[in-house]
Amino acid sequence: MTPPAAATSNQPAAVLAQAARRRTFAVISHPDAGKSTLTEALALHAHAITAAGATHGKAGRKATVSDWMEMEQARGISISSTALQFEYEDTVFNLVDTPGHADFSEDTYRVLSAVDFAVMLLDGGKGLEPQTLKLFDVCRRSGIPVITLVNKWDRPGLDALELMDQIQTEIDLHPTPLTWPVGIAGDFRGVIDRRDDTCIEYLRTAGGATIAPQAIHTPDEASELFGEVWSAAREEVDLLDASDSTYDPETFLAGTSTPVLFAAAALNFGIGQLLETMLTVAPAPAPRPGADGQLRPVDADFSAFVFKIQAGMNTAHRDHVAFARICSGVFRRGDVLTHAQSGRPFATKYAQSLFGRERETAEIAFPGDVIGLVNASQLAIGDTLFADSPVQFPPIPSFAPEHFAVIRARDTGRYKQFRRGIEQLDREGVVQVLRSNLRGDQAPVLAAVGPMQFEVVVDRLKREFSTEVSLDHLDYQLALQVDRAGADTVNSSAGAEVLERTDGTLLAVFTDRWRMQRIARAHPDLTLESLAAGVV
């Protein structure tokens, strides 16, 4: 996407104007809440695609643009994050799609480090679910404002006021609905727009593959059209008015309230209202703190950080893409930047903008944009790039793994391919790779937050490196950081072992918490520390 020529200047005013046009966000949800369908619907309403992929439910639908991996298309779930950029009413939206499955919550956490706000997607029939609660907690502690979208209102579900109570009581977030459903769950006629008291009627299209037409009615017209259904909706809005559930920009940006909208993404109902809400109330890119705590102004010299690395997006080439969120300044393809971690120059000849799996050359980009840096083998997750004035952004912590397995190549003749594949998946953060002198390099230990990460490793090694592997699951359930002085103590204890992560961190792994506590009591000088405390 090429901005107007006047906007390509390095002048601070031009940078600020371009940043003000950006909205960079993620969608967080429990699996099966409709996240990929919502992603498609947003792109459809922005005319970035001509027809939504979700047309007949998971059993027969086309693959969504954000779910491009074979495992995602086969299972109908998102297991990898992708970036999609589209424009709507002169506003550039950068949607960083997140994995929907809880086993990939570490990838989701990285994505949330790169956005300015989140859309919390709730299934209208299930309400707040465990994964949604965990991800919201990350947003709260990261200071990320949240817009709530109640999805699947075209299906039988919970009472709308009951959902508002859940949000208030379970996550201590004050709901301030901007739209309110006309019709109970399963009988979705439209919404009341609380901002102007009009009624928006939704009309179905074939399979929900195209933008749903809508008609705007005055309250009197809606009363005549919908009768008692309208009256019931109006009574509930009166209750919201009486409970001071009215949108407040200050509490929203402070993370203590959430605007709420109702939708049916599979039918493309309510998606236009979500886009308008993000356009009018969601925050644009703001100054970001560096590792030293100093804020990097949006109009300062260029800076960005890598929050994801992904390989296999282009089947014709064995490349990998580093996803970088621009924090300040102007990016121009061909600029030579500085890699903060090594101090070395970094050329940007191969920079691309992303739309799911599709790419095009990125000539210029601004704060809030996500660019793909191709074959940037020297970059790692959390690394910083800058031009001129130095900055280094805080590292992105790794999660404490809970599942462990030894991995080996079935055919020892393919050990080189096996090792190259393991190194690639480790660099991407698909799993953590742990090693020890005792086990040797041919039998590394994979450490994961959830067991499905192991399935991704096995699948990708087979498809991308033509390597069949075997997994031997270990009984360890707990990992803590240990210093080298304590490593021998742990290794000499039953039910425990010390393994080294690629970044040099020593992990003491234990079969359970009771075993760890017993070893710690027997060796009071042993120092054990939690990993990535406070994350999901």
Q: CA torsion sign, 498 to 499 to 500 to 506? A: negative
Task: Mark residue 412 as left, alpha or beta (left: phi above 0; alpha: psi -120 to 50; beta: remaining).
Answer: alpha
The radius of gyration of the chain's CA atoms, rounded to the nearest angstrom, is 24
Establish whether 56 is an annotated binding residue. no
> How far is the C-alpha of 140 from the C-alpha of 172, rounded, in Å?
10
For residue 100, say whether it is annotated as part of any ligand binding site. yes
Angle (CA) 357 363 364, round 5°: 105
Q: Which residues of 268-284 are buried (b: 16+ CB within 10 A; e: fewer)?
A: bbbbbbbbbbbeebbbb
Q: For Cα atoms 438, 442, 445, give the angle at the middle one, nearest 5 degrees.
A: 65
Q: How far apart, in Å, are the Cα atoms of 187 and each of 110, 159, 222? A: 38, 12, 15
Which residues on adjacent β-strands are paired with residue 85?
94
Q: Which two tokens stand for residue 344?
A: 């070395």
Six token digits for residue 273: 């209202």
DSSP letter at 11? S
Nearest one of 155, 96, 144 to 122, comparing CA atoms: 155
Main-chain phi, psi angles of 295, to 5 degrees: -75, 135
Instruction: Give the integer Cα–Cα distance in Å for 367 and 15.
Output: 8
Could you tell me the CA-to-CA distances from 127 to 131, 132, 157 in Å, in that order? 11, 9, 9
- Cα→Cα distances 118→72, 96, 388, 419, 481, Å: 22, 10, 31, 37, 31
Is 97 one of the annotated binding-site residues? yes
Three-state secondary structure call for residue 421:
helix
Burial of 178 (0-12, 13-18, 19+ CB in 10 A): buried
Q: Could you identify the residue written with the tokens 């760890």?
A: 516
CA distances from 11 to 6, 20, 300 (A): 10, 14, 10
Is 207 labelled as part of a ligand binding site? Answer: no
In the block, residue with structure tokens 């208030």? 168
Asked if residue 107 belongs to a known ligand binding site, the reply is no
Burial of 498 (0-12, 13-18, 19+ CB in 10 A): buried
Pairing label, strands 257-262, 174-177: parallel
Q: What is the largest CA-CA distance in the chain?
A: 79
Per the annotation, binding residues are 97-101
Per the annotation, binding residues for GTP are 97-101
